[in-house]
């Protein structure tokens, strides 16, 4: 076999390989789209099974809600992904996906003010194992996919949407008066105080703010990330008054619940001291 013939065979083989690869690449987008659609379909199917098992008893078989048990989920104000009227009404600052996933995962420690007059008697439970619930993270993702599969929603909202009118900004408590409410020596706090604060934090806060206080817990999925208590530059600008207000009153737009109704004054101050401990930003002596 001559050298020229071998070269010709090599060129033809290379050309054939290139053609095959081009054909494969040309079909890759369609193949990946089909794979993605198949994966999403399986997730929705798995979510439907979980919904029937865990959610339908309160939210209805078709997401239409059950009087006295739970609000509808398959509704136009929640699943209008373009205009997001419900999220705007409650001043949520993230996406619909984030809101639904976080609500499923962490539950609702407090009743929604939006449905305050509907007479619901049971809180939305915690479902994700990340928060101490029974479901794996992938099961929470599947449930989220199933609920979003109803978009843009079938049922009209049962409560009229009212965009809240901002009220007057509350006058902050002067820091010297706020410091006077701390029920223990806090400059600096004792190890017992910090340990008590850590226990409260681990139970109620770590799921979003992270075990190491870095704002990187499993619930840190929204557009606005939880505060990183180890970022001392940011914490220096976050004074004790702001910190106390955030813990007591929460922040609706970020999903931060109000802990004032659930924790005692002493517990609130204990957890604040623990959260400020990485940067040692305690009450001035």
In a domain, 1, yes or no: no
pLDDT at position 208:
84
In a domain, 7, yes or no: no
pLDDT tens for each residue of 237-256: 999 999 999 999 888 667 78
Q: What percent of the chain lies above the pLDDT cut of 90?
A: 45
Model confidence at 285, pLDDT cuts 50, 70, 90, reads very low
Between 113 and 34, whose confidence is greater? 113
pLDDT tens for each residue of 64-102: 999 888 999 999 999 999 999 998 888 787 889 989 998
pLDDT tens for each residue of 38-50: 657 788 999 999 9
pLDDT at position 40:
75
Among 111, 138, 167, identify where a domain stops.
167
Beta bridge partners of 128: 135
Cβ burial 216-227 (10 Å sphere, 16+ → b, else e)? bbbbbbbeeebb
Residue 41: Cβ within 10 Å count: 12
pTM beyond 0.75: the answer is: no
Q: Highest-confidence range of 23-32, 67-76, 202-211, by mean pLDDT?
A: 67-76
Q: How many domains, in total, are found in the chain?
A: 2
* Cβ(81)–Cβ(162) below 8 Å: no
In a domain, 13, yes or no: no
Kindly state whether residues 192 and 148 are assigned to the same domain: no
Segments forming the whole domain that contains residue 180:
175-275
On the question of pLDDT at 52 being above 90, the answer is yes
The arithmetic mean of pLDDT across residues 109-122, rounded, is 78
On the question of pLDDT at 169 being above 70, the answer is no
On the question of pLDDT at 33 being above 60, the answer is no
Which CATH number is 249's domain given? 1.10.760.10
With H, G, I as helix, E, B as strand and everything else as coil, classify residue 211: coil
Nearest CA-CA partner of 64 in 192, 1, 150: 150
- What is the rounded distance in angstroms from the CA atom of residue 230 to the CA atom of residue 159? 41
């Amino acid at each position: 076999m001559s050298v020229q013939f071998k070269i010709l065979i090599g060129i033809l083989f290379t050309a054939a390989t290139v053609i095959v690869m081009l054909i494969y690449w040309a079909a890759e987008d369609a193949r990946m789209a089909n794979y993605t659609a198949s994966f999403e379909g399986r997730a929705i199917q798995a979510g439907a099974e979980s919904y029937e098992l865990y959610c339908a008893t309160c939210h209805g078989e078709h997401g239409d809600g059950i009087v006295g048990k739970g609000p509808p989920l398959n509704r136009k104000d929640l699943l209008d992904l373009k205009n997001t009227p419900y999220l705007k009404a409650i001043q949520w600052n993230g996406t619909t996906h984030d809101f639904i996933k976080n609500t499923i995962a962490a539950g609702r420690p407090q009743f929604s003010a939006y449905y305050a007059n509907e007479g619901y008697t049971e809180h939305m439970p915690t479902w994700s194992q990340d928060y101490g619930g029974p479901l794996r993270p992938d099961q929470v993702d599947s449930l989220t996919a199933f609920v979003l599969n109803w978009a843009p929603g079938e049922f009209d909202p049962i409560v009229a949407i009212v965009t809240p009118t901002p009220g007057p900004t509350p006058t902050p408590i002067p820091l010297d008066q706020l410091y006077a409410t701390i029920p223990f020596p806090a400059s600096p706090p004792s190890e017992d105080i910090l340990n008590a604060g850590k226990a409260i934090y681990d139970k109620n806060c770590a799921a979003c703010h992270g075990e190491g206080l870095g704002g990187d817990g499993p619930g840190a999925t929204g557009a606005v990330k939880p505060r990183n208590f180890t970022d001392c530059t940011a914490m220096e600008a976050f004074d004790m008054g702001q910190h106390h207000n955030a813990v007591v009153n929460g922040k609706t737009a970020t999903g931060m619940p109000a802990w004032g109704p659930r924790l005692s004054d002493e517990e609130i101050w204990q957890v604040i001291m623990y959260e400020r401990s990485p940067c040692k930003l305690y009450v001035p002596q």
